[in-house]
A and B are shown apart, each in its own frame.
Chain A
Amino acid sequence: MSTSSPRPVAVLGGNRVPFARSGGAYAKATNADLLTTTIDGLVARFGLAGERVGEVVAGAVLKHARDWNLARECVLGTSLDPTTPAYDLQQACGTGLEAAILVANKIALGQIDSGIAGGTDTASDAPMAFSDDLRGVLMRLNRAKTPMDRAKIIASIRPGHLTPSVPQNVEPRTGMSMGEHMAITAKEWGITREAQDELAVASHRNLAAAYDRGFFDDLVTPYLGLSRDGNLRPDTTVEKLASLAPVFGKGEGATMTAGNSTPLTDGASAVLLSTAEWAADHRITPLAWFVDGQAAAVDYVNGGDGLLTAPIFAVPAMLARQGLTLADFDFYEIHEAFASTVLVTLAAWEDEAFCRDRLGLPGALGSIDRSKLNVNGSSLAAGHPFAATGGRIVASLAKMLHEKGSGRGLISICAAGGQGVVAILEAA
């Protein structure tokens, strides 16, 4: 067997549709529609029509049973060569970034030379299931042998059976929503309402400015009449946000509102990765190198950790492997599931006791220069179609690094189930 050292992996660019508030512009679009359009936009940007790429990896968090082969079915609907293989993957909100890590790893190992990593989600077309009771009845019906048996089974269906079970944004093991979990963590860390609202305003302001200067001209392809993210409120202010009532957490100390939490969102994203040679053959200039990726999980069920705190653990592990410190970055892309998620993450890394006791570090991991955080906006402004967020961030960060011409960027994404996925890009 021949072994070779891993090859550098280039991020060549990306594409996404503008993200829409759920029930809005994409109310009638399916995950397959969103992902197919997004990949086609990427194909058009890079002139890949009729080409076979090594692999397309994509997923969705809210997924219909009929979408069991979503990525491959979408590939067949795009202008890519139909002999392009594809597979689905799912790691909650980490799906998009995990897809990029998998594609990057295969490229690094020499198994493929190019690949597309993507993700899509729509809360407007979420799957609904029959209640378990009705499902039991229907399965029995399917097994019934005689017409008489069937008639009896049908007669046993009761109105109560017909109530559909809608997937809920709750953790199966705690029955609590993500927001409720986050509210507990935010309270533990003493995150203030003002700090959260300020972060939200900055997100909107930064995203709007990025659109205005044409930053997204080669990152976003409009869809169904939407040219900018539907959730974007360029003129929002701390005062306006201060007037909103809390929606997560209870009583006096509740700080989390609809303004500093991400809304349900529809959208899709895709990123093109390759070796340097493949890029050169296709006359595409790499924007960044995909340096490393790491996942972590916390025991939020029985242990004391917050549901969305896993990235806090993933980052130091990855930094240690790379011989880097938290200060060694020019851009920090910390996914804004909630404003408080970002603030808790930063607070934990600054906390000496936490870093010593929980992360096993000699002292605090450090603080970051806030002017390098989410400089072109993040999920609070853009919205967060779960599986699409990773691709949005990878492509934007790669372009930011390319514009700067040097430096490194850190990506941190929290995910349901107490998970986190993080990655490092470096300017190409």
Chain B
Amino acid sequence: MGILGSDPYAALLGTPLGKRMVDSLGLPKPATLRRYAVDAPLLDGAALLGWLDDDHPIADRIRTIFDVEGIEVGDPFDTLPAAAVIVDLSGIAEPGDLERFRAVVAPSLKRLKSSGRVLVIGRPESSATTPAQAAARRALVGATKSVAKEMRAGGTANLLLVAEGADDQIEAAVRFLLSGRSAYVSGQVIEVSGGSAPVERTEWTQPLAGKVAVVTGAARGIGAAIAEVLARDGATIVAVDVPAAGEALARVANQLRGTALQADVTAPDAGERIVDHAHLRHGGLDIVVHNAGITRDKLLANTDEARWASVLGVNLESILRMNDAILGPRGLRDGGRMVLVSSIAGIAGNRGQTNYGASKAGVIGLTTFLGRDAQLRSRGITVNAVAPGFIETEMTGAVPFATREIGRRLNSLQQGGLPVDVAETIAWLSQDANAGVSGQVVRVCGQSLIGA
């Protein structure tokens, strides 16, 4: 199955003529991103680790991960090349402490190999105890996002906020942000709070082994890639799509050795059918990915009731209705995972996509609400969303060339993402080990300028 999108511009860059053209015209030079492979190392080089004096509980935990993975931990003040720089600023108390950020990250940047990683560790501003601490904590957001824009050659920078008491819940997020799984995730702030990841050791190459995962809209595009990646990580797939997409859906299901369920997510009994199928055929339900979505673009002035209703119906209302069954007593198991697919159009809005923007913003509201829901959290269920930016699919392939070309370059990585990038993020959010991340919206957009 082709989850690799096609980017003729990137292909052109691979030729000598293309390179000359790009150099002489001063065009952007998108790097080939380092992407995850089951047998790839977590980092393809040394990691540099820095921290505030005396107070570095998280850096110590990260060092343990590197020990397990056999990754060399380099000296931040050395000059040898490195794959990542991590700075633990969880103990930051006032703006003066930010110098540590500069002192560690600045010299490291020149040493980073392609697809390098900057990972900044902080604490949420909401739990600050002094004005100075709140200011300093928030400053890390601006600093990280700015560094992300400075990075070249496929490098990314992200900020991981670790709530007090959640220090032992960070491993899945750290691994995600350092690995090729987060190739197209940059300039993001992700918070880890609460949660109780299972104590058993995680098998990191098969983190979803034994799980039953439902993916809606799985016949093609991003949904097919999600199904493929979840299956690669060990899950049994229930691939759902409209009956009319049944031919492609069967191909996806058979390739992944899962089952195909032909169902329109807007049907009143869709949730029940999904839950029934997962229970009867696979013995339970662990992961649900609400990915099915449509666009019916028109300026609002020209949008009739049907265009409005169909987009909100498929992209938002269907999820609410299906969740009655999915979050009900026969639905997701305790410790289950739900991931919703939003869009940067739901964050920034988009001309001609008022219906779509409304639906995708609604998805974020739903995610935030459910992610905080005390009852769900007490059952160990997390709910998160991904917000893809420009992803190379049939949907975006239909966009006129010039618009598409702009869409694809308007981000810090200077290229469109691939369906697999969205899928990797969803697979990470679906891990048991990721119990501390809930109610978050992770943008998979290469730090798009839109809605930043």
Q: Is B267 part of the contact surface with A, judged by Cβ < 8 Å?
A: yes
Q: From residue A394, how far is it (CB to closest CB) to chain B in Å?
A: 19
Q: Are B251 and A45 in contact (CB under 8 A)?
A: no
- Distance A260 CA – B219 CA, assembled complex (angstroms): 38
Question: Which residues of chain A come closer than 8 Å to B258, judged between CB atoms?
Answer: 47, 49
Q: From residue B340, how far is it (CB to closest CB) to chain A in Å?
A: 24
Q: Is A44 part of the contact surface with B, judged by Cβ < 8 Å?
A: yes
Q: Is A43 part of the contact surface with B, judged by Cβ < 8 Å?
A: yes
- Distance A224 CA – B247 CA, assembled complex (angstroms): 8
Q: From residue B434, how far is it (CB to closest CB) to chain A in Å?
A: 27
Question: Which residues of chain B come closer than 8 Å to A220, judged between CB atoms?
Answer: 243, 246
- Distance A50 CA – B236 CA, assembled complex (angstroms): 14
Q: Is B253 part of the contact surface with A, judged by Cβ < 8 Å?
A: yes
A219 nearest in chain B by CB position: B262
Q: From residue A150, how far is it (CB to closest CB) to chain B in Å?
A: 48
Q: Are B244 and A227 in contact (CB under 8 A)?
A: yes
Q: Is B280 part of the contact surface with A, judged by Cβ < 8 Å?
A: yes
Question: Which residues of chain A come closer than 8 Å to B280, judged between CB atoms?
Answer: 283-285
Q: Are B254 and A217 in contact (CB under 8 A)?
A: no
Residue from A78, A222, A224 within 8 A of B245 (CB atoms): A222
- Distance A46 CA – B247 CA, assembled complex (angstroms): 14
Q: Is A223 part of the contact surface with B, judged by Cβ < 8 Å?
A: yes
Contact with A along B267-307 (1 / 0, CB 8 A): 10000000000001111000000000000000000000000
A224 nearest in chain B by CB position: B247
- Distance A222 CA – B260 CA, assembled complex (angstroms): 13
Q: Are B267 and A214 in contact (CB under 8 A)?
A: yes
Q: From residue B105, how far is it (CB to closest CB) to chain A in Å?
A: 48
Q: Is B250 part of the contact surface with A, judged by Cβ < 8 Å?
A: yes
Question: Which residues of chain B come closer than 8 Å to A47, judged between CB atoms?
Answer: 253, 257-259, 281
Q: From residue B174, how far is it (CB to closest CB) to chain A in Å?
A: 35
Q: Are B259 and A217 in contact (CB under 8 A)?
A: no
Residue from B239, B243, B257, B267 within 8 A of A50 (CB atoms): B257
- Distance A214 CA – B243 CA, assembled complex (angstroms): 9
Q: Is B255 part of the contact surface with A, judged by Cβ < 8 Å?
A: yes
Q: Are B246 and A221 in contact (CB under 8 A)?
A: yes
Q: Are A217 and B263 in contact (CB under 8 A)?
A: yes
Q: Is A203 part of the contact surface with B, judged by Cβ < 8 Å?
A: no
- Distance A231 CA – B261 CA, assembled complex (angstroms): 26
Q: Are A79 and B246 in contact (CB under 8 A)?
A: no
- Distance A285 CA – B281 CA, assembled complex (angstroms): 8
Contact with B along A31-46 (1 / 0, CB 8 A): 0000001001101111
Interface size grouping (class) on chain B: 20 to 34
A43 nearest in chain B by CB position: B254
Q: Are A222 and B244 in contact (CB under 8 A)?
A: yes
Question: Which residues of chain A come closer than 8 Å to B247, judged between CB atoms?
Answer: 37, 41, 221-224
Residue from A43, A49, A218, A284 within 8 A of B262 (CB atoms): A218
Q: Are B243 and A222 in contact (CB under 8 A)?
A: yes
Q: Is B249 part of the contact surface with A, judged by Cβ < 8 Å?
A: yes
- Distance A111 CA – B324 CA, assembled complex (angstroms): 45
Interface size grouping (class) on chain A: 20 to 34
Q: Are A227 and B254 in contact (CB under 8 A)?
A: no
B259 nearest in chain A by CB position: A47
A284 nearest in chain B by CB position: B281
Question: Which residues of chain A come closer than 8 Å to B253, judged between CB atoms?
Answer: 44, 47, 49
Residue from A49, A222, A227 within 8 A of B255 (CB atoms): A49
Question: Which residues of chain A come closer than 8 Å to B245, judged between CB atoms?
Answer: 222
Q: Are B257 and A49 in contact (CB under 8 A)?
A: yes
Q: From residue A412, how far is it (CB to closest CB) to chain B in Å?
A: 29
Q: From residue A207, how far is it (CB to closest CB) to chain B in Å?
A: 15
Residue from B255, B256, B259 within 8 A of A46 (CB atoms): B259
B269 nearest in chain A by CB position: A214
Chain A residues 13-53 with CB under 8 Å of chain B are 37, 40-41, 43-47, 49-50
Question: Which residues of chain B come closer than 8 Å to A221, judged between CB atoms?
Answer: 246-247, 249-250, 262
Q: From residue B130, how far is it (CB to closest CB) to chain A in Å?
A: 57
Q: From residue B273, how far is it (CB to closest CB) to chain A in Å?
A: 9
Q: Are B281 and A222 in contact (CB under 8 A)?
A: no
> Which residue, of A214, A220, A285, has the highest number of chain B Cβ atoms within 10 A?
A214
Chain A residues 73-113 with CB under 8 Å of chain B are 78-79
Q: Are B267 and A44 in contact (CB under 8 A)?
A: no
Question: Which residues of chain B come closer than 8 Å to A224, judged between CB atoms?
Answer: 247
> Which residue, of B244, B253, B255, B263, has the highest number of chain A Cβ atoms within 10 A?
B253
Residue from B239, B243, B283 within 8 A of A227 (CB atoms): B243
Q: From residue A181, how far is it (CB to closest CB) to chain B in Å?
A: 37
Q: From residue A241, how far is it (CB to closest CB) to chain B in Å?
A: 29
Question: Which residues of chain B come closer than 8 Å to A37, judged between CB atoms?
Answer: 247
Residue from A79, A217, A283, A285 within 8 A of B243 (CB atoms): A217
Contact with B along A194-228 (1 / 0, CB 8 A): 00000000000000000000101110111110010
B249 nearest in chain A by CB position: A44
Q: From residue B247, how far is it (CB to closest CB) to chain A in Å?
A: 5
With A223-B247, A227-B243 in contact, is A283–B283 under 8 Å at CB?
Answer: yes
Q: Are A45 and B260 in contact (CB under 8 A)?
A: yes
Question: Which residues of chain A come closer than 8 Å to B260, judged between CB atoms?
Answer: 41, 44-45
Task: Please list 26 pairs of residues, one from A and one from B, whose beta carbons are closer than 8 Å in the complex, sorted by A's number.
Answer: A41-B250, A43-B254, A44-B249, A45-B250, A47-B253, A47-B257, A47-B258, A49-B255, A49-B257, A79-B254, A79-B255, A217-B262, A217-B263, A220-B243, A221-B246, A221-B249, A221-B250, A222-B246, A222-B247, A223-B247, A224-B247, A227-B243, A283-B280, A283-B281, A283-B282, A284-B280
A residues with CB within 8 A of B: 37, 40-41, 43-47, 49-50, 78-79, 214, 216-218, 220-224, 227, 283-285
Query: Which 7 A-B residue pairs are closest in the complex by CB-CB distance?
Result: A44-B250, A79-B254, A44-B260, A47-B259, A44-B253, A221-B246, A49-B254
Apart from A44-B260, A284-B281: 5 A-B pairs, beta carbons within 8 A: A41-B246, A221-B246, A221-B249, A283-B282, A285-B280
